[in-house]
Chains A and B, each alone.
Chain A
């Protein structure tokens, strides 16, 4: 820490901050470059190679440069396409439901029609503290016919539904994700609500505006940046979906090895690393475009 004294005297004679900002940023920048930048560059590089076997099917395989062969394989793969469509469908349905729930809860916590706010706020946030693997194990138990008290209860009401069935399991996963992150998003929105100056809507209230009008006309527009932030994080999370499906794949045969793009990456890595790298890069670029595009569109809307 004491690289200071000599540099300190120097600085007093200088105008700019000199090397100081660099010294502050370097401890973060070095691991950031090692852990974030180099791997993605390395993956992009690896994705341009392909394996070539010489001397028949049991011959030695060597890596040769293959330009975009792997990407051609990625984009022509039916498995890849269906996994992307699956997570997009998931996101289009699950993200709005979760964020509307989070927004409703945040607005209620910020309103005057609810009691025990502190208690509710903590209780709704608890699921976020539960690791994804454990949440998935827990819900997997609740979905399992024969073990689950919920399925048993539904059966008594003569509703029989296989929550791990081929058409239902995606939405069972959506429920786990909603359950885990609704409270977290609620809290982000809620703290944005707390930051709105109260006189803004106290005035509206004196003017006779209803709670609903205040929420729609004043509160929601003021917390738009927080809502956008939660939406972007949700988009990134959805495209990365991995933990819940891989845990459920142990209790349901309906989760294939290519259920989500990330499962595909993981399974492809077992025998064709170059292909796996190409899928990773495609996924990272796609995530980037989607989240960045979403930011741009919402920023333009907010400006107009």
Chain B
């Protein structure tokens, strides 16, 4: 049996992504591709409809074919950015501040904690890890209201901090980082670093983080998306429109549509713009995070 596997391995090694299997039955290729194309329409058609809607004036939304683009895309964007003295741009910037700030700090904290949990033997290690795992299972929305009350007492509500502080904590990041540090940072390398006279933090920041890079990018991206998409926390914490992230801002416009119908086309145009940054970042960082994804399920 082992001979068999070895030969099989030898045959396929030059092309591990053996996509060009000539033995596949044409019928199964046709069936599979049809299924994939149907799914493609399901996943992308709504986005297309949204973009088409963004290219129309509000009055045309109901009266024209929703599949055929109109000519007002850029005038809608112009109206979007000039509404309320350009508050939409402010919302976008706020989202960037919350998401980048929270994800960068959150990733560093999670990486350090996960690395320590994987690479040091100490009393209470499993206890700490179990508490963190409990945090992974904790519904974030259950925390938002009590957090609001606590923040009220220290006058933190309705500030940048009220959204930023909770965003830097990522228990799932610690979990991923522990698993990945355990698998990708060899003890010998840490020992070698110590023999060279490097301190523990230096070893971590110069050697370990490099080896953990794919996992760190994954943690960063998940945290970024989680913050960018977060809605409940800012909804609970913020009253000042100038501090809103883009999700809450669009929601506040959406809730006024029945009174101010013109906002409809702004909400749609704003939705199109808000989608771009996350999708662009995922695509550009693709090659880094792919390797880190499987870490979560390997035990």
Contact = CB atoms under 8 A, between A and B. Distances in A.
A27 interface: yes
Which interface residue of A35, A122, A148, A232 has the most chain B CB atoms within 10 A? A35
Interface stretch (A90-98, A129-137, A160-168): A129-137
A28 B62 contact: no
Given A28-B110, A229-B296, A291-B137, A198 B9 contact: yes
B271 A27 contact: no
A191 B141 contact: no
Interface string A18-44: 001111110111011011111110110
B116 A24 contact: yes
A71 interface: no
Contacts of A198: 9, 12, 16
B250 A192 contact: no
A115 interface: yes
Nearest to A287: B139
A147 B132 CA distance: 46
Contact of B50 (A34, A141, A183, A225): A141
Interface in B243-257: 246-248, 250-251, 254-255, 257
Interface string A182-200: 1100011001101100111
B262 interface: no
Contacts of A74: none
A138 B251 CA distance: 12
Contacts of A139: 46
Interface string A204-219: 0110000100000000
Interface string B119-158: 0111001001001101101111111011101100000000
A21 B138 CA distance: 25
Interface stretch (B27-35, B73-81, B82-90): B27-35
A265 B144 CA distance: 11
Contacts of B53: 141, 147
A21 B36 CA distance: 48
Given A38-B150, A111-B32, A280-B145, A25 B274 contact: no
Interface residues of B, number: 109
Contacts of B12: 198, 202
B211 interface: no
Interface in A110-140: 111-117, 120, 122-134, 137-139
Nearest to A289: B137
Interface string A35-61: 111111011001000000000000000
Interface string B20-64: 110010001100110110011011101101100100000001100
Given A28-B110, A39-B146, A138-B271, A20 B120 contact: yes
A95 to B, nearest CB: 16
B298 interface: yes
Given A112-B21, A134-B275, A24 B171 contact: no
Interface of A: 1, 4-5, 7-8, 11, 16-17, 20-25, 27-29, 31-32, 34-40, 42-43, 46, 101, 104-105, 108, 111-117, 120, 122-134, 137-139, 141-142, 146-150, 152, 179, 182-183, 187-188, 191-192, 194-195, 198-200, 202-203, 205-206, 211, 223, 225-226, 229, 232, 236, 239-240, 242-243, 247, 250, 262, 265-266, 269, 273, 276-277, 280-281, 283-284, 287-288, 291-292
A149 B121 contact: no
A113 B24 contact: yes
**6 nearest interchain CB pairs?**
A149-B66, A226-B297, A24-B116, A112-B21, A191-B294, A202-B8
